[in-house]
Structure 1
Amino acid sequence: MIGVIADDVTGATDVAAALSREGLRTLLAFDAELPVTGEADAIVIGLKTRSIPAADAVATSVAALRTLRDAGATRFYFKYCSTFDSTDEGNIGPVTEALAQALGVSTVVTTPAAPVHGRTVKDGHLYVSGVPLHETHMAHHPITPMHDSNLVSLLTPQVHGTVTTLPSSEVHAGVAVVRAAIAAAESAGVVHVIADAVDAADLAIIAEAADSAVLTAGSAGLIGAIGGRQRASGRTASVPPAARTAIIAGSCSRRTLEQIASFQASRAPSHRVVAEPGQTAAELAEAALTWWDAQPDVTSAMIYSSSSPEERNGELPAAGELYEQVAGLVARGLAQRGVQRMLVAGGETSGAVLRELGTTVAVVGEEAAVGVPWIHDTAHGVHLVLKSGNFGDVDMFTAVAGGEQP
C-alpha cells in the first residue's frame, strides 16, 4: 500500500485525485496520529506543515509516517507544492531528510513537475506554464514569495545532504539510464536527486526507474505516475447530488481571484469579509452568516476574504490567520444550517475549515476539476471540494455551484 504525507490539505486532495484517477481505492485523512482503517490501496494524510516552523513540520510528518506504517503502507511519498512553496529554512528539505532517516533511505528522487497543471522542470529550473517560477505570481505570494526558479539553489539552503539534478538528456535516454544515474548518486552519497520532467512520458520513465524506492517526493505528478504502476483493486467514485453550494474563498492567488470575479459576473451573490483593526473572527463570521441567512434558501453563494496585493491592509499583519479562523467558523455555521456542499479555495483556508468541521477521514470521489476531487466526510454528511489556490478553470466556482462538472 502507498502512504502519502502531504504538506497541506489541498495538496492532499490533489494527490488523492491522482491516485484515484489510476483506479486506486484512496482514503484521505487529516490527522497525523489518528489511526486510519478501511480497505485502501493508498492512504493520503493531509497536514498543515508547509509554513510552520521546520522542527514542528518534521515532528508532525514523522508522526504521520508512523501512522501510515501502522496502517500497512510499505511505500511512501512526501507530497509538497508544485510551485515549491518554501523558505531558506524549509520545510521541503527538512521533512524529506527526516522521513528518509526514519525509513533508512539514503537517496530520494524528487521533482515538483506536474505537467497536467502546467508545472515542468527543465535543466533544474521550475516553470509554471512555460514561465520561470520567479517571474510568476508566486513572486508575490504573501507567505512564501518565490524569487528563484533554480531548484538546486532553492533546496540547498534547507538541507544537510548533497543536492544534484537528473537532466532531461538522461531521462529521455530511458529507464536503464535513469536507474543507473540514481544508483550512481546513491554511491556518491547524494541525498536529493531533482529530476527534470516536462511531460507525462518523462514522469513515467522516472517512476519505473524508481520502482524499488521506499521513499520518493514531489508534487502530484510523480506519485500519479507511481500509482499508475500499482495493481489497482478498483474504486467507485461518487459525485454529490446537486444542491445549494457554499463557496468559501481565502486564497489570494491570481486564479482564485479570477474565479471570484467570474462568479460575481454571473450575478451570483457574494459577501466579502473585510476586517478592521480590533475586529474578532467571531464577529466577522457572525456577520457573514447573517448575510448568508438573508439569501434565498436555494441559492448558492460565496463568502470570501481573498484580495489582490494592492487591496491588502498593512495595518493587519496577522490578517491571514484571522481570515482563516473566520472561514472555519463560517463553515461550521453553514454545516449547522444544513449546507452539505462546500467549495473551499486555499490550502490554509481548507485546513481551518476541516478543523472546525471536525473532519478526520474522507472518501475521495470524482474530480470537480483536474486535481480537485469531491471528498465525502461521511461522519458529518458534508461533501467538500478543497481547491488549491491556483487550480481550476476560471468558471469553476460557477460550474460547481450549479451542480455541474467543469
Structure 2
Amino acid sequence: MNPRCEQDGLPEGLWLAYYGDDFTGSTDVLEAFTAAGVPTVLFLHAPRAEDLARFPGARCVGVAGQSRGKSPAWMRAHLPAVFESLASLGAPVVQYKVCSTFDSSPEVGSIGQAIDLGVRCTSAPWSPMVVGAPRLQRYQVFGHLFAAAHNEVWRIDRHPTMSRHPVTPMHESDLRVHLAQQTPRRTGLVNLAHMAQGQADAVWQSLQGADQPVLMLDVADTATQREAGRLVWEQRGPGVFSASSSGLQYALAEYWRSRGWLPEWPGLPIAQAHDCIGVVSGSCSPMSAAQIDWAQAHGFLTLRMSVPLCLDPVHAEAEIERLTQQAADAVAQGVSPVIYSAKGPDDPAVQGFEAVAQGLGLDKAQASESVGMALAEVMRRLLDRTHLRRVVVAGGDSSGAVASHLGIQAFTVAAGMAPGVPLCRAWSDDARRDGLEIALKGGQLGLPSFYGAVRAGRVA
C-alpha cells in the first residue's frame, strides 16, 4: 500500500505507536494492522532514529514488552521512559496494548497502573479503551467482556481458561469494576445503545476532563467496531493515550476504510511449506495441551521439559542440553520437535510449580522466568545446531524470553497463519537470525492442528 497523504484524511508519518504488554500480544497488533494495509514494524526495544530509517514506509511502530507479568513497581520504573519515547515519535495515538482477555490484577500486570503512567505523555482530555475484537471472538457488551472457547462464547469470569489463569484469573466480567480495582481514575462507557442511537459523542463530551478519564467503548460487531474507531480518531485531539487490545487496530482500520482512506482488506501473504519446524511451549492453557497432543499424534517428536531440573542450578544445564540434543537429532532425521514445560492447567508440573519453586528458594515470578529462559536457551542452541528457519513459541512470557535471547531487533509480518498469530520475519544484525520465520502464539490461540499448519504453510 502507498500510505495516504494528509489531504486524503490520514497524516504523513506515523499514525499509531504502541507498547505491547507481552510478545504474543505485540505480534497480534502487527498482524491486525498489516492485514489492513497499514505498514507496521515491531521492535524489541524503543526504536532509535537509525532503526526507524530501515523502515521508511512504516505507519505504525510497536515495542514488544513483558509488563503483563510485572508488578506496579516494575511498571513505574520501566514504562514512563518507553511511553515518552513513543510519544516523541509524533503519532496521534499512543497505545498500551493489553490482552483481549483483559486478565490483570492490582499486583500483576496492572492495566490501571499502565494507564496512570501513560496518560501523562499525551494531553487529550480522555483515554479511550477498546477491548472487543470480533475477529478474535472477543466481545464487549454493556461493559462486560466475553470470549470464545471450545466453540462457545463465555462471559470472561466463567471462561474455562481465563477464569482459572494461574497468575491473573478473571473473576469479574464488568471491565469497569475490574479496572476500578487497579486505578481510582474515573471510568465511563459508550455502550451498544449509545452507539445505535448516535449518542457516542455526547457521552464523550460529558465525561472528558483534565483528569483524563477512561472511556470504554463497547464492540460486538462490525458496526460498533467502526463507531469505536470513529470516536477515537475524530476525538484524538493533539494526541491521545489508549490502553486497548488489538480491537483498537481493527476499529481504526474499519473506520479508515469506511472513509476510503484504506483499501479493502488486502490480507496477508501465504507461507511456503517447510519440511521441519521447531517448537517450544511454556503455555499451560488447554489449547496448548491439545496442540501438543495433536503434534504427538501426527509425527512430531514431543519432549517434556523437567521443570524441577530446570529450576535447580545444579541440574539445569544437563536438562537443557538433553532437550537440545534430542531435538537436534530429530531435526536431522526430518522430524519436527516440540519441547514443552506443561500440558494444560491440570498438569502436575503446574499444580506443583509453587512448591518446587519454594523448595529451591525461588518465588513464583523468579521460577517462571527461569523456565522461560531455559526454553529460550534450548531454542538458541537448536537453531545454532540445525538448518531450521521456521519456529514457534507458545506462551506470552516464553515468547518474550525466546525472542530477546535470539538477538532479534525487529519483526514484520511474513504471512498469515491464524487469527492473532502471524508468521513473522525476524530482522537481526546476526546473519544466523536475520530472516528467521517465527510465530509467537498466545496459549489459547490457534486450532489443535496449529503446529501442522505452520509446518505446511497453510492458514490454520
Q: TM-score range by the shorter chain?
A: over 0.9
Are residues 1:16 and 2:16 paired? Answer: no
Assess, with a 3 A threshold, how the Cα gap between structure 1 residues 69 and 296 changes in structure 2: closer, same or farther. Answer: closer
**One-letter amino acid matched to 1:364:** V
- Say which SS state the counterpart of residue 158 (structure 1) adopts: coil
Where do 5+ consecutive residues of structure 2 fail to align? Answer: 1-13, 358-363
C-alpha change, 1:75 and 1:194, in structure 2 (3 Å) is closer
405, 415, 419: which one pairs with 1:370? 419
Kindly tell me: are residues 296 and 13 of structure 1, through their superposed partners in 2, closer, same or farther at Cα, counting changes over 3 Å?
A: closer
Equivalenced residue count is: 404
Residue 348 of structure 1 is matched in structure 2 by 397
Q: CA deviation at 1:352?
A: 0.5
Pairwise CA RMSD:
2.3
Which one of the candidate residues 299, 306, 320 is aligned to 2:342?
306
C-alpha separation in 2, matches of 1:399 and 1:372: 12
Q: Is the 8 A contact 1:3 1:77 kept in 2?
A: yes
TM-score by length of structure 2 reads 0.82
Q: CA deviation at 1:59?
A: 4.0
**Number of the residue aligned with 1:385:** 439
Structure 1 residue 202: Cα displacement = 0.8
- Taking the aligned partners of 1:63 and 1:189, their CA distance within structure 2 comes to 21
Q: Which sits farther off after the overlay, 160-169 or 7-16?
A: 160-169
1:335 aligned onto 2:359: no
Q: Relative to 1, partners in 2 of residues 1:9 and 1:53: Cα closer, same or farther, differing over 3 Å?
A: same
Q: Deviations over 1:235-271 (max 9, x none)?
A: 9965554332101111111211111111112132111
Assess if the C-alpha contact under 8 Å between 1:331 and 1:356 holds in 2.
no
SS of the equivalent of 1:255 reads helix
- For 2:60 and 2:210, the matched residues in 1 are separated by 32
| CA–CA separation in structure 2 for the residues paired with 1:173 and 1:251 | 43
Q: Does 1:157 align with 2:205?
A: no
Residue 95 of structure 1, CA deviation = 0.9
Query: What TM-score does the superposition give when structure 1 sets the normalisation length?
Result: 0.92
Q: 1:300 to 1:103 in 2, by over 3 A?
A: same
Question: 8 Å contact 1:179–1:210 — kept in the other structure?
Answer: no
**1:85, 1:281 → 2: CA distance?**
31
Shift of 1:232: 5.2
Contact 2:269/2:416, CA 8 A, preserved across alignment: no
Q: Deviations over 1:309-348 (max 9, x none)?
A: 3322243234422220111101111221232111111110
Q: Which of residues 210, 215, 226 in structure 1 aligns to 2:252?
A: 226
CA distance in 1, matches of 2:74, 2:216: 25
Deviation at 1:200, TM superposition (A): 2.5
- Matching of residue 83 in structure 1 with residue 101 in structure 2: yes
Q: 2:156 aligns with which of 133, 148, 156?
A: 133
Q: Deviations for 1:192-223, whole angstroms, at most 9, x for unmatched residues?
A: 11222211221110110221322223111122
Report the alpha carbon displacement of residue 402 of structure 1 after superposing the two structures with TM: 2.7
Give the whole-Å Cα distance in 2 for the aligned partners of 1:52 and 1:263: 32
TM-aligned CA deviation for residue 286 of structure 1: 1.0
**Deviation (angstroms), 1:168:** 1.3
Q: Determine if the alignment matches structure 1 residue 209 to structure 2 residue 209.
A: no
| Other-structure match for 1:282 | 317
Instruction: Using the aligned pairs only, state the percent identity.
Output: 26
